[in-house]
Amino acid sequence: MASLPSLRQLKYLIALAEQRNFTRAAVTCHVTQSTLSAGLKELESTLGANLVERDRQRVVITPLGAEVAARARSLIAQAEDLVALVSGAAEPMCGTLRLGVIPTIAPFLLPRILPGLRAKYPKLKLLLREDLTANLLARLRSAQLDFALIALPYDTGGLLERPLFDDEFWLAGRAGDPAFKEKRLAVTTPIAERLLLLEEGHCLREHTLAACARSATPNPSGIEATSLLTLVQMVESGIGLALVPEIALKSGLLQRTGLVARPLAAPAPRRTLALVTRPSSARTAELQLLADFIVEAHKREERAVLTSRGRRNPAR
């Protein structure tokens, strides 16, 4: 039987393919540069092919090396899922769990769920990463993350999705803005033409564009924001209007601003918060446990809002 490459050797190749530098790849793998170089040579010897072109100026991954690295990511993901399967069978929601969250969810939902999550699962070590959806899904597929908390609709490319709850968009603008004089507030052409957008890569940008599908294209000025907070500041300066997620409003996004937000007429545009993972993941049971926890936490929050309605306004 032919000898097989080790997972460690494959990890070395993946690190070099990502870093394109032996020193940085060695740091990523927590080994010396000589150890990494020797491991890669052993891998090439085992496979009988050149995977890396080396010279003093640069590192070039051969086309075959790139293909091997891509397949190695899948192999390592399956190996890590195997370990997680055994660990999770013994005690779910225990040990390290790597969760990615998009920027338009993280600061508004995590503070509401993390304390309770730590209390319910004290043996769980949650490692968080905030990033754009495409980057999170790429890390998820390469097993650098276990789960990702994103907003749908979004093409996840066959990943396993667990919808959590809907999050409506409200219209935000300066107090006294003529847009709020309408009795039935909707994304009509005059409003759509004044809507500001987040920059490319944010799913909230695509959701805003979808809300304007039957009216004008938003943001004709081309002014874009890098974050939801910056978007709010632009609206406060009088540049335009914005569609803002309800969970952000309930977290006090517009506090200490001169802005107000109003709900839109039914059917209001909305997004669906969801947890996603690899279909091959061995942690699907934990995905369900985390999803159930988030849903219950959201329901408690909703009940608290209904109880306090009239005493405070989450939109201001």
d(CA 315, CA 313): 5
pLDDT for res 70: 87
- Average pLDDT for residues 119-141, to the nearest whole number? 94
169-215: per-residue pLDDT in tens? 999 999 889 989 887 888 888 888 899 999 999 999 999 888 887 66
d(CA 204, CA 146): 23
Residue spans per domain, the chain: 7-85, 92-316
Indicate whether 315 pLDDT > 60. no
Indicate whether 316 pLDDT > 60. no
| Residue reference for tokens 């306004």 | 313
Confidence at 269, pLDDT banded by 50, 70, 90: very high
Indicate whether 221 pLDDT > 80. no
- Whole-model pTM: value is 0.76
CATH of domain 92-316: 3.40.190.290
56-90: per-residue pLDDT in tens? 778 899 999 999 998 888 888 778 777 766 765 56
87-109: per-residue pLDDT in tens? 655 678 888 899 999 999 999 99
Domain 7-85 has CATH 1.10.10.10: yes
Indicate whether 314 pLDDT > 90. no
